[in-house]
Amino acid sequence: MAGSLVSPSLGEARAFAGNLAALAPPVLLLALWEVVSLSHLFPEQVLVPPAEVFRTLFAMTQSGELQRHVGDSLHRLSVGFILGAAAGLAFGVTIALSRLAEAAFVPLFLTLWQVPVIALVPLLVMFLGIGEPFKVAIVAIASFFPVALAAFDAVRGVPRAWFEVGRVYRLSLADTVWRIVVPATVPAVVTGLRIGLTRAWVVLVASELLAADSGIGQMMEMGRQLFQIDVVLSGVIVSGLVGFAIDRGARAIEQHATRWRAA
Amino acid sequence: MSIDPSLRLPAETPNTPVRGELAIANLSKSFRIGGQLRPVLEGINLTLRPGEFVSIVGASGCGKSTLLRLIVGLDDDYQGEIRLDGERVATTSLDRGIVFQDHRLFPWMTLEQNIELALRNTNVPKARRAQIVAEHIALVGLEGFEKAYPHQLSGGMAQRGAIARALVTEPKLLLLDEPLGALDALTRVNVQTELQRIWMAQRSTMLMVTHDVEEALYLGDRVIVMSPNPGRIRRIVDVDLPHPRDRRSPLLHRLKDEILAELTAAPVEPGGVSDNLVRLPAREAR
């Protein structure tokens, strides 16, 4: 909306300036990294210079190794997220609608929510091994909580006034659900899904560091064990960029789903 | 009339029974607050003639809004009788429409979709619906805003949209719960004029609750003055002036002074506790 108030060229100029401004800190960070590695404050094997890291990244892309690790991680992320988010939605809606379910499950839910998901890794590894089921499970657990909480709040937050409008016009239950409850809860639920997804990515990479045979986290762990710090730093950069892309993509979907909202 | 009689709506035939007669007899309502029954309405008796516009004024807490919720059927826990054309009110019905103070248009639907939603549970054929919606958008003067979302409308426009939604089902009785309460003074005067025009075009029975005595008199054939704790009818004022009305009419001004004096006077209930006294704030009295 604000963009329409300024002339298009001015708007474009502002957007361009914004993009430029967003580039400055990463460039500065790279420069700082370069300066520190040139200063030989740390041994070169520990603080690998940026150019070296980018060479490694390029080589790993050429060989397809990087794509394989990222692909494996993303695959786990999507399977685990679908399972965890679906369960979280169902659970959140149930405790929002049933006072009995709320009384029964919410204390346990809130307690488990306080446990860092990473703390479950040793347990899960004992039960599920270090294969795919373990990583899918960890992603599912990480996405379950934020999604369940968002769904609960969203359904509870539908104003009574809107249900009254439905009653005045004698809408059927199906119409009440599809035309009032679902659209009213979509914004909060989509936000919960986005938070769940980004949180799950972080937890996945961390658990791959601890126990895995492939994936971006395991790639970093192998690099550490073989003292290939360039590989570790490549992993840092790639996992950051992937997380950033996931967040941006989810935000775009979020904005599209709530475009009726006041700007 | 050259219209084929079989095509006429029942309402247009001369022999239809009265349409939109609201009869309230001995109505009382209490809320349970902290384990104690607290009466909010007591001994309300009121009959609205079909096609009549009646306004209700009174201080906050006199149960005006509760009365409308009972009539529209959102609350069925009451003693006494509420009947529309002889039928006892027990739940909501498309015969009774309501406009709330907050427009309550759904923000994810366009104006058109919001109004059409009211027709979902009617037997209006799907093919006719778009046309009926368009007619009602025109009735409230919002042509060109069919595809607008509520946040793109001004307060007055959104409230006119809510009036169109309430009228689209052709209710026998339209209830208006401080419909203009959230609007600024100038918009308010404009929508009042609009509302009068809409009522004259539509001629359904209307019952409006308001804080604004001037508004009540300008629109109402009768003005019900209510007193609080518990809500009772204190006085019924006939406004014997034809519509459309002139705001400058001396009669309206004289009645306004009378009603304001009545509302700001000490309550007449015997044994009324004086610190329980609710005075109409000067801001609302205007």
Quote the minimal CA–CA distance from A235 to chain B in Å: 42
The pLDDT, as a whole number, for residue B274 is 42
Q: Which of residues 185-204 of A touch B (CB under 8 A)?
A: 186
Pair B80, B182 in one domain: yes
Pair A117, A246 in one domain: yes
CA distance B112 to A7: 31
Pair B113, B212 in one domain: no
Quick check: B121 and A169 CB within 8 A? yes
Domain count for chain A, please give it: 2
Report chain A residues whose CB lies below 8 A from the CB of B124.
none
Checking DSSP bridges between strand B22-33 and strand B36-48, what pairing results, if any? antiparallel
| Choice between A171 and A11, residue whose per-residue pLDDT is larger | A171
Pair B91, B117 in one domain: no
Q: Is residue B128 part of a domain?
A: yes
> Of B119, B136, B169, at which residue does a domain stop?
B169
Q: Cα-Cα-Cα-Cα dihedral of A183, A188, A189, A195, to 10°?
A: 150
Q: Is residue A119 part of a domain?
A: yes
Pair A4, A93 in one domain: no
**Nearest chain A residue to B151, by CA:** A262
Helical ranges in chain A per DSSP H: 2-5, 8-38, 50-63, 65-97, 99-113, 121-128, 132-156, 160-168, 173-175, 182-210, 216-225, 229-257
Q: What is the pLDDT along chain B (286 residues), one digit of tens a residue?
A: 444 444 444 444 444 445 889 999 999 999 988 888 889 999 999 999 999 999 999 887 788 889 999 999 999 899 999 999 989 998 999 999 999 989 999 999 999 999 999 999 998 998 899 999 999 999 888 999 999 999 999 988 999 999 999 999 989 999 999 998 888 888 889 889 988 988 988 888 999 999 899 999 999 999 999 988 888 999 999 999 998 899 999 999 999 999 998 888 765 554 444 444 444 444 443 3
Pair B78, B206 in one domain: yes
The pLDDT, as a whole number, for residue A7 is 58
Quote the minimal CA–CA distance from A222 to chain B in Å: 50
> Of B143, B169, B195, at which residue does a domain stop?
B169
Quick check: A169 and B118 CB within 8 A? yes
Pair A158, A32 in one domain: no
Domain count for chain B, please give it: 2
Pair A52, A163 in one domain: yes
Q: Is residue A160 part of a domain?
A: yes
Pair B120, B249 in one domain: no
Quick check: B121 and A171 CB within 8 A? yes
Quote the minimal CA–CA distance from B186 to chain A in Å: 24
Q: Is residue B253 part of a domain?
A: yes
Q: Which two tokens stand for residue B240?
A: 């014997």
Q: Is the pLDDT of residue A69 over 60?
A: yes
The pLDDT, as a whole number, for residue B225 is 93
pLDDT in tens, A9-44: 777 788 888 788 888 888 999 999 888 888 888 888
> Of B169, B198, B222, at which residue does a domain stop?
B169
Residue A208: which domain range? 47-257
Considering only CB atoms, B120 lies closest to which of A162, A175, A262, namely A175
Pair A127, A25 in one domain: no
Q: Is residue B36 part of a domain?
A: yes
Q: Is residue A80 part of a domain?
A: yes
What's the CATH code of the domain at A184?
Answer: 1.10.3720.10
Quote the minimal CA–CA distance from B282 to chain A in Å: 29
The pLDDT, as a whole number, for residue B268 is 52
Mutate to test the interface with A, among B66, B95, B106, B168 (most CBs of A within 10 A): B106
Pair A8, A96 in one domain: no
Pair B85, B184 in one domain: yes
Pair A146, A172 in one domain: yes
Pair A128, A17 in one domain: no
The pLDDT, as a whole number, for residue A12 is 79
Pair A11, A139 in one domain: no
Pair A104, A11 in one domain: no
Report chain A residues whose CB lies below 8 A from the CB of B121.
169-172, 175
Report chain B residues whose CB lies below 8 A from the CB of A171.
117, 120-121
With an 8 Å Cβ cutoff, the interface of chain B facing chain A consists of 72-74, 92-94, 97-98, 100, 102, 104, 106-109, 117-118, 120-121, 149, 151, 169
Residue A8: band (very low, low, confident or very high) from pLDDT cuts 50, 70, 90: low
Q: Is residue A263 part of a domain?
A: no
pLDDT in tens, A71-129: 999 999 999 999 999 999 999 999 988 889 899 999 999 999 889 988 988 899 899 98
Q: Is residue B54 part of a domain?
A: yes
Report chain B residues whose CB lies below 8 A from the CB of A168.
72, 74, 92, 97-98
pLDDT in tens, A114-129: 899 889 888 998 999 8
**Nearest chain B residue to A187, by CA:** B108
**Nearest chain A residue to B162, by CA:** A165
Pair A155, A189 in one domain: yes
Pair B176, B255 in one domain: yes
Pair B30, B146 in one domain: no
Considering only CB atoms, B72 lies closest to which of A168, A172, A260, namely A168
SS3 per residue for chain B: CCCCHHHCCHHHCCCCCCCCCEEEEEEEEEEEECCEEEEEEEEEEEEECCCCEEEEEECCCCCHHHHHHHHHCCCCCCEEEEEECCEECCCCCCCEEEECCCCCCCCCCCHHHHHHHCCCCCCCCHHHHHHHHHHHHHHCCCCCCCCCCHHHCCHHHHHHHHHHHHHCCCCCEEEEECCCCCCCHHHHHHHHHHHHHHHHHHCCEEEEEECCHHHHHHHCCEEEEEECCCEEEEEEEECCCCCCCCCCCHHHHHHHHHHHHHHHCCCCCCCCCHHHCCCCCHHHHC
Residue A152: band (very low, low, confident or very high) from pLDDT cuts 50, 70, 90: very high
**Nearest chain B residue to A159, by CA:** B104
Check CB contact of A167 with chain B, cutoff 8 Å: yes
The pLDDT, as a whole number, for residue A210 is 87
Quick check: A260 and B72 CB within 8 A? no
Q: Is residue B245 part of a domain?
A: yes
The pLDDT, as a whole number, for residue B191 is 86
Quick check: B106 and A261 CB within 8 A? no
Mutate to test the interface with A, among B98, B108, B120 (most CBs of A within 10 A): B108
Quote the minimal CA–CA distance from A182 to chain B in Å: 11
Q: Is residue A62 part of a domain?
A: yes
Quick check: B102 and A161 CB within 8 A? yes
Q: Is residue B272 part of a domain?
A: no
Report chain A residues whose CB lies below 8 A from the CB of B109.
179, 183, 260
Residue B246: which domain range? 20-95+171-265+281-285
Q: Is residue A262 part of a domain?
A: no
Q: Is residue B6 part of a domain?
A: no
Quick check: B97 and A168 CB within 8 A? yes
Neighbours of B57 (CB within 10 A): 29
Side-chain-facing half-sphere of A216: CA atoms under 13 Å: 27
Structure ipTM: 0.82
Pair B249, B114 in one domain: no
Q: Is residue B141 part of a domain?
A: yes
Pair A66, A11 in one domain: no
The pLDDT, as a whole number, for residue B33 is 85
Report chain A residues whose CB lies below 8 A from the CB of B92.
167-168, 170
The pLDDT, as a whole number, for residue A163 is 92
Pair B49, B191 in one domain: yes
State which of A142-146, A173-177, A205-209, A213-217 shows the largest mean pLDDT. Answer: A142-146
